[in-house]
Amino acid sequence: MKILLVEDDVEISEMLRKFLGTEGFEVVAVYDGESACRKFYEEEYSLVLLDLMIPKMDGMEVMNVIRK
């Protein structure tokens, strides 16, 4: 299962990426809303873990874009 992790705090992102990786998930981490939208359309993901307070576009805006 491939997960798109959107979290602007690098320490939290790395912690989640490592934990999910040890559980067998492939994790792609990005740190802002624009990168999240771009990555979402470049590859296919089973799950998006999305922080709401991220730079460039907030999480609600990202969610609206990827729901389309």
The predicted-structure confidence for 10-23, as pLDDT tens digits, reads as follows 999 999 999 999 99
Residue 52 has pLDDT above 90, yes or no: yes
Total-model pTM: 0.93
| Helix/strand/coil for 6 | strand
Residue 68 has pLDDT above 90, yes or no: no
In this prediction, residue 29 carries a pLDDT of 97
| Residues of the chain above pLDDT 70, percent | 100
pLDDT tens per residue, range 36-48: 999 999 999 999 9
Task: Give the integer Cα–Cα distance in Å for 65 and 18.
Answer: 27
In sequence order, the β-bridge partners of residue 29 are: 5
Cα 24–Cα 3–Cα 63 angle in degrees, nearest 5: 160
What are the strands of the beta sheet with 47-50, ordered from one edge? 26-30, 2-6, 47-50
Q: Which two tokens stand for residue 55?
A: 């730079």
